[in-house]
Amino acid sequence: MSTYSTNAVTYSAGWQFAKFKEGVKATAKTLEFRVMTIILTALMLWGAAIATFGYPALIIVALALVPMIFTCLLLITVGK
């Protein structure tokens, strides 16, 4: 492990990693982080599907979203 001195205090790489790990754990518990992780994972999977299967991967996602869009349109029409 490498050590260096700042303001008469010596820090090790292990200590820095532990602090980084605590920060990641604190961030991973937030709702925003979880939502962004789900969105980015879905986009990456969709990109992989497009790279693998091409044009049909675009069509499958569009067809899968039709019921959701239809429901949203009905809710807007009703006024809710």
Digit-coded pLDDT (tens) for 12-44:
677 677 777 777 676 667 888 889 999 999 999
Residue 74 has pLDDT above 80, yes or no: yes
- On whether the pTM is more than 0.85, the answer is no
pLDDT of residue 2: 56
Contact between 10 and 4 (Cβ < 8 Å) = yes
- What is the percent of the chain with per-residue pLDDT over 70, rounded to a whole number? 75
Q: Which residues contact 28 (CB under 8 A, 6 or more apart)?
A: 34
